[in-house]
């Protein structure tokens, strides 16, 4: 029987494993270093805020893996020998594979800021990051600075504010998530952030992090020369594929692991899915080569499972969609809405009196063809748009 080995037990790797099991009797091994069992990264914030315990973020009970004969190894893969189809692990014995699926996810970006490795400076991606955050805030802090205004940044802000730690939020753009959201949308969110007492500084970048005598962060300096005292710096300026351990191997890499539409890498029987994968050319022309979201990881996992089980399948995602929650405001997007209307495009924007509920539609000026929608504080139906 063929040995299928998956590195990474995140949503993409686990979805692949589950679907391979549904379709076949192949041996499945999942190797991952972060945690023994699959957990939902998207729920990290809720653990810190006390909505859930860590075990609640694990979608499957421990018996599930045994029952479905999915062999779990908690270890770190140090190198891959693609010729001999073998993996060397940090602690355990080498593992042989017939087919290998790389689902190794991302890591937080660090842009070489002075002081970025000081104590009290951290990203938010892994379970270990969460533990570190608990450690960093266990005695309470007077202020935190968050650098980089995206989805993880605002989640981190919400987490810290839940414990009444004041937050200063540095955003490079003119407005929050301004490279994605149109002006009014972004303003709606910023009003809501102000309501939650986030001290938002737009058009501000981090220049330097200053240590105290113990090598702990004491303050930061912005590009405007302002010094802000803080005991915690959250680096949330995006993520990038977690491929350092694959550098200097025969694997074809760019920012991520390069793949074709069948999710195949340049190595035989080796696939890459999820956050770490980068399409040489995305099968859909309106999509980006790297899409680091939960949903795409899940779709790639399901797709690759077909291929591995002998039913070769190209990745063919439907329309783009995404969702998030900005404090109390739920956001959903469907299709494409850019921060500025395209040349042949018009936007329709409506918001209610409270300024907390809004819709934006993007459509073609002439043909009135629908391009995409953003909603805030309203729940829309997915099926309706797929049709």
Partner 1 sequence: MRTLQKIGLIIFIIGITIFTFSPFIGSYKVTDDILKTGLSEQQYANLSKKLNEKLVGQTFSFAWQISSVFVNEYELKNEEFKSKEEWDKVMYDNPQEVALSLTKSSATGFYATNILLFFLLSFGFGVLGAIMYFLPDVILLGPPGIKNNHIYRRPSTNRGLIAYFVFAYLIGFYILLYFYPAQLTNQILLVDPLSLLLNGNPASRWFLYGVLYCTVMLTMGVRMYIKYRNNKYQIFRTTSVLFFQVAFAFLIPELLIRFNMPSMDFKNAWPLNYSFFFDWNIDNLLNSGAIGAFMLFWGIVLTLIIVPVFSYFYGKRWYCSWVCGCGGLAETLGDPYRQHSNKTLKAWKFERWIVHGVLVFAVVMTGAALYTFFTNQNTLLGIDTYSIQKAYGFLIGSIFAGVIGTGFYPIFGNRVWCRFGCPLAAYIGIIQRFKSRFRITTNGGQCISCGNCSTYCEQGIDVRWYAQRGENIVRASCVGCGVCSAVCPRGVLKLENGPEQDRIIENPIIIGNDGIKLNL
Ligand X SMILES: Cc1cc2nc3c(=O)[nH]c(=O)nc-3n(C[C@H](O)[C@H](O)[C@H](O)COP(=O)(O)OP(=O)(O)OC[C@H]3O[C@@H](n4cnc5c(N)ncnc54)[C@H](O)[C@@H]3O)c2cc1C
List residues binding partner 1 (CB under 8 A). Answer: 11, 40, 42-43, 46, 49-53, 56-59, 61, 63, 162, 192, 195-196, 294-295, 298-299, 302-303, 306, 311, 313-319, 321, 323, 325, 327-328, 330, 332, 379-383, 386
CB of 326 to partner 1, least distance (A): 10
Which C-beta is closer to ligand X: that of 13 or that of 115? Answer: 13
Q: Which does 211 bind (CB under 5 to 8 A by kind): ligand X, partner 1, none?
A: none
Residue nearest to ligand X (CB): 105
- Report the C-alpha gap between 85 and 343 in whole angstroms: 50
Strands (E), 202-246: 206-211, 217-222, 227-229, 232-235, 239-241
- Report the C-alpha gap between 322 and 83 in whole angstroms: 39
Token pair listed for 67: 């029952």
Report the 10 Å Cβ neighbour count for 233.
26
Residues 207-266 that bind ligand X (CB under 6 A): 242, 245
Q: Does 146 bind ligand X (CB under 6 A)?
A: no
β pairing state of 144-147 and 232-235:
parallel
CB of 377 to ligand X, least distance (A): 17
Which C-beta is closer to partner 1: that of 62 or that of 92? Answer: 62
Give the contacts of 154 (CB within 8 A, at least 6 positions apart): 169, 176, 189, 193, 326, 327
Size of the site for ligand X (CB under 6 A): 36
Out of 155, 184, 185, 302, point to the residue binding ligand X (CB under 6 A): 155
Which C-beta is closer to partner 1: that of 121 or that of 151? Answer: 151
* Residue 336 · residue 374 · CB < 8 Å: no
Q: Which does 178 bind (CB under 5 to 8 A by kind): partner 1, ligand X, none?
A: none
Out of 5, 28, 146, 293, point to the residue binding ligand X (CB under 6 A): 293
∠ CA 206-210-213, nearest 5°, is 165
Q: Which residue has the tokens 């629908």?
A: 370
Out of 154, 324, 337, 358, point to the residue binding ligand X (CB under 6 A): 324
Q: 100 has which bridge partners?
A: 5, 270
Which C-beta is closer to ligand X: that of 231 or that of 275? Answer: 275
CA dist 156 → 190, 228, 232 (Å): 15, 18, 11
CB of 312 to partner 1, least distance (A): 10
CB of 130 to ligand X, least distance (A): 9
- Report the C-alpha gap between 10 and 253 in whole angstroms: 21
Give the contacts of 78 (CB within 8 A, at least 6 positions apart): 88, 89, 90, 245
CB of 153 to ligand X, least distance (A): 10
Q: Does 302 bind ligand X (CB under 6 A)?
A: no
The candidate with the shortest Cα–Cα distance to 9, out of 69, 79, 74, is 74
Q: Does 103 bind ligand X (CB under 6 A)?
A: yes
Q: Which does 86 bind (CB under 5 to 8 A by kind): partner 1, ligand X, none?
A: none
Q: Which does 379 bind (CB under 5 to 8 A by kind): ligand X, partner 1, none?
A: partner 1
Which C-beta is closer to partner 1: that of 295 or that of 349? Answer: 295
- The CA radius of gyration of the chain, in Å to the nearest whole number, is 22
CB of 381 to partner 1, least distance (A): 6
* Residue 348 · residue 360 · CB < 8 Å: yes
Q: Which residues of 272-283 are buried (b: 16+ CB within 10 A; e: fewer)?
A: bbbbbbbbeebe
Out of 37, 113, 125, 176, point to the residue binding ligand X (CB under 6 A): 125
Chain residues that interact with ligand X, rule: CB under 6 A:
7-13, 31-34, 41-42, 44, 76-77, 103-106, 124-125, 151-152, 155, 242, 245, 274-275, 292-295, 297, 322, 324
């Amino acid at each position: 029987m063929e040995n299928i080995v998956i590195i990474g037990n995140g949503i993409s790797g686990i979805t692949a494993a589950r679907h391979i099991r549904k379709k076949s009797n192949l041996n499945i091994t999942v190797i991952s270093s972060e945690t023994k069992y699959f957990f939902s990264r998207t729920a990290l914030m809720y653990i810190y805020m006390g909505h859930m315990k860590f075990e609640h973020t694990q979608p499957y009970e421990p018996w599930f893996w045994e029952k479905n004969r999915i062999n779990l190894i908690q270890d770190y893969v140090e190198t891959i020998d693609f010729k001999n189809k073998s993996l060397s692990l940090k602690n355990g014995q080498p593992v042989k594979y017939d087919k290998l699926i790389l689902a190794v996810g991302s890591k937080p970006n660090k842009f070489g800021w002075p002081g970025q490795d000081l104590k009290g400076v951290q990203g938010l991606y892994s379970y270990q990051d969460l533990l570190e955050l608990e450690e960093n805030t266990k005695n309470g802090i007077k202020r935190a600075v968050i650098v980089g205004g995206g989805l993880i940044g605002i989640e981190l802000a919400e987490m810290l504010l839940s414990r009444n730690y004041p937050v200063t939020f540095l955003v490079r753009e003119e407005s929050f998530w301004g490279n994605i959201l149109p002006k009014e949308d972004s303003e709606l969110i910023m009003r809501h952030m102000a309501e939650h007492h986030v001290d938002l500084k737009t058009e501000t970048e981090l220049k330097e992090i200053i240590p105290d005598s113990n090598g702990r962060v004491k303050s930061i300096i912005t590009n405007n020369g302002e010094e802000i005292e803080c005991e915690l710096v959250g680096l949330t300026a995006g993520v990038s594929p977690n491929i350092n351990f694959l550098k200097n191997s025969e694997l074809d890499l760019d920012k991520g692991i390069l793949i074709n539409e069948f999710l195949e890498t340049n190595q035989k029987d080796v696939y890459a899915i999820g956050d770490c994968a980068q399409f040489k050319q995305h099968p859909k022309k309106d999509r980006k080569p790297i899409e680091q979201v939960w949903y795409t990881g899940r779709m790639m996992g399901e797709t690759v499972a077909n291929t591995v089980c002998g039913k070769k399948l190209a990745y063919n995602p439907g329309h783009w969609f995404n969702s998030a929650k900005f404090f109390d405001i739920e956001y959903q997007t469907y299709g494409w809405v850019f921060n500025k209307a395209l040349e042949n495009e018009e936007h329709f924007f409506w918001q209610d009196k409270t300024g907390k509920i809004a819709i934006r539609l993007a459509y073609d000026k002439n043909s009135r063809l629908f391009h995409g929608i953003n909603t805030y504080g309203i729940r829309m139906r997915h099926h309706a748009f797929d049709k």
